[in-house]
């Protein structure tokens, strides 16, 4: 696996780009930190403790089927044993996979050989490693192993990730340290990005290997932040899902007699009492479950910054995750303030970074601050990105036409729903509370529209484009101006008539596109021309 790299023995200057087409001389090797050579191995299998873990995890995945076979009795046509055979087959496949997977670290490369029928070899130069995530689900932790996922330049959606499932825990951590902290001897390789470091006032990484890496802790989770757990949409929804799911079991378990008795009791109590009691129970259950979810996800949350130029996050109660975000790949921040959090004075922070596939983004590898007080979010954001104005400056509103659209889009559907409810109540005799509920939404919709307009805005600082939108799920995204690739300007028929446009700044990071909704046409073009003048000015109307 040849690579275009710096000439051996020469230290690349910060800001220099490796010339395309150059190669290391045959027989010579670029300088490497001694740490990696200490880890060199020949072809090895993954840790043998996986042979214990794999059947257990597969068994758990098939637990419903197994339960059906054993608990529900070995009755019926005997086809139940097919399910057992399926589980056994899965376990055997897992063992075979373990047997056929080999990895090797050496020669400045990490190689993984895997595949039963389709043999695959994935090799990565250690130079190209950008992220190393160490994950230890509960069974892994019990046995002292951890899963290592190595991501390379080019990102997960283009490059192959090397997944070593699993290595011994100490070995995994050591490998991670070595792969990530070799920054000390080789500056980041991304062309054109290193010059931004100098503009920020942060010194580029020293060309010579430095002393021990300095690690500053930016954030440690405080247990009192758990109070924010039920207030986030995802917390609420996951709690609701569990309650709904559990409710099915409960109703089945009760049996018909129990239900009839309960129904009798419910119809005896007045409606309002039953409703409030029901709502109260649901709320409590959802809160408890959301808190449990929060604790499982974020316990022990710790955000640190390494002087080598990466941010490290470790978190998790049963499954521990250690992820890293390279600062050269950071293209901005997303401050999330869903309605509940906002009312309680909280917020959360995620990184906008290239190199994470969408799957990883969804899994939450970009967390910088879990739901926490707003002051904490602002402090960490200022420290990570160094542009306090980006997150606190007042936003430019989008004008009267945008406000009108917010109201129309909020009140219109509410009126429509009420109209339908009214018709149904009148013609089909639906109960009155449906109409009351619809009327309630009509009353609430102007408030929603007002909040949505208040959350809509944008701002341009020297280094960032700040975009804000939403009410229930409000986000304020600060996008680095360097990371913006191009622009989309979208107009529906109604927007054209109002002279509005939805401007999207496209970027290779995070959500890929960040929208300024319903901004005036000329303002949209102004924003584009200010951020990327070389790109937009050639297309201006003269």
Near other proteins by CB under 8 A, which window of 63-71, 208-216, 435-443, 522-530?
522-530
Question: Which of 37, 109, 425, 526 contacts other proteins by CB under 8 A?
Answer: 526
Question: Which of 507, 517, 518, 519 contacts other proteins by CB under 8 A?
Answer: 507
* Helix or strand (DSSP H, E) at 497: helix 493-498
Question: Dihedral of CA 407/408/413/414: which sign?
Answer: positive
- The distance from CA 45 to its chain's CA centroid, rounded to whole angstroms, is 31
Question: Which of 153, 180, 468, 473 contacts other proteins by CB under 8 A?
Answer: 153
**Local structure of residue 509 (DSSP, 8 states):** S
- The distance from CA 534 to its chain's CA centroid, rounded to whole angstroms, is 33
Of 17 and 265, CB closest to other proteins: 17
Of 111 and 193, CB closest to other proteins: 193
At closest approach, how far in Å is the CB of 13 from other proteins? 17
Question: Which of 47, 486, 498, 517 contacts other proteins by CB under 8 A?
Answer: 486
Question: Which of 94, 388, 460, 470 contacts other proteins by CB under 8 A?
Answer: 460
126 vs 216: CA distance, rounded Å: 25
At closest approach, how far in Å is the CB of 383 from other proteins? 22
At closest approach, how far in Å is the CB of 486 from other proteins? 4
Contact (Cβ atoms closer than 8 angstroms) between residue 403 and residue 453: yes
Near other proteins by CB under 8 A, which window of 52-60, 342-350, 443-451, 519-527?
519-527
**Interaction between residue 539 and other proteins (CB under 8 A):** yes
β-bridge mates for residue 106, sequence order = 109
**Interaction between residue 461 and other proteins (CB under 8 A):** yes
Near other proteins by CB under 8 A, which window of 75-83, 184-192, 333-341, 424-432?
184-192
- The distance from CA 330 to its chain's CA centroid, rounded to whole angstroms, is 14
User: What is the CA angle 437-440-442, rounded to 5?
Assistant: 120
Question: Which of 66, 90, 190, 317 contacts other proteins by CB under 8 A?
Answer: 190
Contact (Cβ atoms closer than 8 angstroms) between residue 332 and residue 483: yes
At closest approach, how far in Å is the CB of 154 from other proteins? 8
Near other proteins by CB under 8 A, which window of 67-75, 150-158, 205-213, 224-232?
150-158
207 vs 374: CA distance, rounded Å: 38
CB atoms within 10 A of CB 162: 20
* Helix or strand (DSSP H, E) at 306: strand 302-306
**Interaction between residue 191 and other proteins (CB under 8 A):** yes
**Interaction between residue 201 and other proteins (CB under 8 A):** no
Of 365 and 507, CB closest to other proteins: 507
β-bridge mates for residue 353, sequence order = 330
How many residues line the site for other proteins (CB under 8 A)? 53
428 vs 434: CA distance, rounded Å: 12
**Interaction between residue 419 and other proteins (CB under 8 A):** no
471 vs 451: CA distance, rounded Å: 6
At closest approach, how far in Å is the CB of 20 from other proteins? 7
Contact (Cβ atoms closer than 8 angstroms) between residue 300 and residue 314: yes
92 vs 86: CA distance, rounded Å: 10
At closest approach, how far in Å is the CB of 381 from other proteins? 20
- Chain position carrying tokens 């995204």: 477
**Interaction between residue 506 and other proteins (CB under 8 A):** yes
Of 230 and 528, CB closest to other proteins: 528
Closest listed residue to residue 43, CA positions, set 110, 89, 143, 93: 110
Closest listed residue to residue 385, CA positions, set 316, 296, 325: 325
Cβ density class 493-502: b for 16+ within 10 Å, e for less: eebeebebbb
Q: Restricting to residues 325-364, name those near other proteins by CB under 8 A.
A: 354-355, 358
At closest approach, how far in Å is the CB of 470 from other proteins? 18
Q: Restricting to residues 21-50, name those near other proteins by CB under 8 A.
A: none
Question: Which of 36, 487, 516, 519 contacts other proteins by CB under 8 A?
Answer: 487
At closest approach, how far in Å is the CB of 309 from other proteins? 16
330 vs 108: CA distance, rounded Å: 26
Near other proteins by CB under 8 A, which window of 52-60, 166-174, 186-194, 447-455?
186-194
**Interaction between residue 196 and other proteins (CB under 8 A):** no
Report the interface residues with other proteins, using CB under 8 A. 17, 20, 153-155, 190-192, 354-355, 358, 396, 459-462, 485-493, 496, 504, 506-509, 511-513, 521-523, 525-526, 528-530, 532-542
């Amino acid at each position: 696996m040849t690579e275009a790299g710096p000439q051996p023995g020469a230290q690349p200057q910060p800001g220099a780009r490796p010339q395309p087409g150059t190669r290391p001389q045959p027989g010579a090797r670029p300088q490497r930190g001694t740490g990696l050579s200490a880890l060199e191995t020949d072809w090895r299998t993954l840790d043998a403790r996986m042979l214990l873990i794999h059947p257990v995890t597969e068994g758990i995945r098939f637990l419903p089927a197994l339960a059906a076979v054993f608990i529900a009795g070995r009755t019926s046509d005997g086809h139940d044993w097919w399910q057992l055979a399926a589980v056994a087959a899965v376990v055997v496949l897992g063992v075979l996979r373990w047997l056929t997977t080999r990895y090797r670290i050496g020669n400045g490369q990490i190689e993984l050989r895997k595949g039963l029928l389709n043999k695959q070899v994935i090799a990565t130069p250690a130079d190209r490693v950008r992220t190393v995530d160490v994950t230890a689900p509960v069974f892994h932790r019990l046995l002292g192993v951890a899963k290592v996922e190595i991501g390379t330049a080019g990102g997960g959606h283009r490059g192959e990730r090397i997944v070593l499932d699993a290595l011994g825990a100490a070995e995994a951590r050591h490998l991670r340290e070595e792969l990530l902290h070799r920054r000390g001897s080789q500056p980041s390789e991304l062309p054109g990005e290193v010059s931004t470091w100098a503009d920020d006032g942060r010194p580029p990484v020293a060309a010579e290997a430095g002393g021990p890496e300095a690690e500053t802790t930016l954030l440690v989770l405080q247990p009192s932040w758990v109070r924010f757990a039920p207030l986030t949409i995802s917390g609420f929804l996951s709690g609701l899902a569990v309650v709904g799911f559990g409710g099915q079991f409960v109703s089945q378990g009760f049996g018909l007699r129990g239900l009839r008795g309960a129904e009798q009791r419910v119809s005896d109590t007045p409606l309002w009492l039953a409703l409030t009691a029901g709502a109260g129970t649901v709320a409590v259950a959802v809160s408890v479950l959301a808190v449990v979810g929060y604790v499982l996800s974020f316990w022990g949350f710790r955000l640190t910054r390494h002087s080598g130029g990466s941010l490290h996050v470790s978190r998790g109660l049963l499954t521990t995750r250690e992820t890293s975000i390279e600062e050269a790949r950071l293209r901005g921040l997303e401050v999330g303030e869903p309605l509940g959090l906002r009312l309680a004075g909280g917020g959360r922070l995620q990184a906008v970074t290239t190199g994470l596939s969408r799957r990883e983004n969804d899994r939450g590898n970009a967390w910088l601050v879990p739901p926490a007080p707003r002051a904490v979010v602002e402090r960490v954001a200022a420290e990570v990105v160094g542009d306090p104005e980006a997150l606190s400056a007042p936003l430019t509103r989008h004008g009267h036409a945008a406000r009108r659209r917010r109201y129309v889009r909020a009140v219109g559907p509410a009126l429509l729903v009420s109209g339908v409810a009214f018709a149904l109540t009148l013609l089909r005799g639906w109960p009155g509370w449906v109409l009351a509920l619809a009327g309630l939404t009509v009353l609430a919709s102007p408030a929603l529209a007002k909040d949505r307009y208040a959350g809509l805005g944008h701002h341009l600082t020297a280094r960032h484009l700040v975009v804000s939108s939403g009410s229930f799920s409000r986000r304020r995204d600060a996008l680095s101006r360097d990371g913006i690739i191009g622009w989309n300007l979208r107009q529906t028929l109604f927007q054209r008539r109002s002279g509005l446009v939805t401007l999207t700044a496209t970027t290779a990071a995070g959500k890929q596109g960040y929208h300024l909704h319903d901004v005036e046409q000329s303002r949209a073009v102004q924003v584009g021309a200010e951020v990327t003048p070389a790109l937009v000015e050639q297309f201006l109307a003269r």
